[in-house]
Structures are given as C-alpha cells and as structure tokens.
Amino acid sequence: MLDLIVEMFSISQGYGFCSGSGYSKVFFRVEDFHKLHYSEPQPVLGERVLASQIKEVGKNPKAFEVKRVQAPILLEATVQSFDAVKGWGFANCYLGTYFIHKSDFIDSFVPIIGGKVAFYSGKKKGKNRGCYIIRSDK
C-alpha cells in the first residue's frame, strides 16, 4: 500500500490522479475508489489515500485499488465573495477561509455574499478548497 494524496478528481469523467511516495501522477477510476461509508462523497482534493495494485499502464501508472483513510469533514461556511462572471470566490468557516469554484458546485446556483454553503474540506496546492459545494440556506 502506498500513502498518496488526491491531486485531481473529475466527477463527470469518473477518474482522478494521486501523487506521493515517489509517484508524481497515479491514475485511478471512480470504481476503484473505496469509501469508508456509502454516504460519503467521491474523492476529495487533498485527502490522504492508500493505493495498491499499481501497474504501469499507458502514460501514467494506474492504481486498481484506492482506499480512503479518514472520513472527509463536512463544513458550513458563509460566502465572503463570489464573482459570478469568473465563477469563483471565498467562504469563511471556523477552520478558516476556503476557495470556492463553480466546478465544485453539485447544483447550479450563484452564491450570494452572506449566504451559506456547505462543502467538504479539501486542499489544492496546499490551499483550502471547498469540494462538492451545495447551498445550505434554502
């Protein structure tokens, strides 16, 4: 088992990449990802995973088994800024400020400053990022 970090995951395409332990990019498919509980989201950016059955296939090595190590943290935050044209902004919660991007929205909506959103705590390039974002003030 290799200790890796999820660097990218595409919900619509059903694949992602992990890195670490001497690997810069390890490919995996959603069907090879194992959650701790069925109600959890798919892979969250920046989360630690254990990968095994890694084989050299094509351009990047492929992991045929990727296991979540710890349940992701679901947060509720207040939108501090959001540029509807650019599709990004920031939200604050007790753990700090998180970058939010329209590509991480589960439903189509435009966050309102002062409104509430819920998301899983992720990291991208070492910075806080909201993953699987939904409106929570309906």
Dihedral pair phi/psi, residue 25, rounded to 5°: -150, 120
CATH assignment at residue 7: 2.40.50.140
What is the rounded average pLDDT of the residues 82-102? Answer: 97
Reported confidence tier of residue 22, pLDDT bands at 50, 70, 90: confident
Domain boundary among 43, 68, 93: 68
Q: Are residue 78 and residue 56 in the same domain, yes or no?
A: no
Q: For residues 100 and 85, what is the distance between their CA atoms, to the nearest angstrom?
A: 14
Q: Please state the pTM of the whole predicted model.
A: 0.90
Q: Are residue 6 and residue 62 in the same domain, yes or no?
A: yes
What is the rounded average pLDDT of the residues 115-124? Answer: 97
Give Cα separations from 39 to 15, 63, 72, 74, 81 (angstroms): 19, 23, 11, 12, 30
What pLDDT is stored for residue 55 in this prediction?
Answer: 92
Domain boundary among 11, 36, 68: 68
Domain that holds residue 85: 74-135
CB atoms within 10 A of CB 18: 28
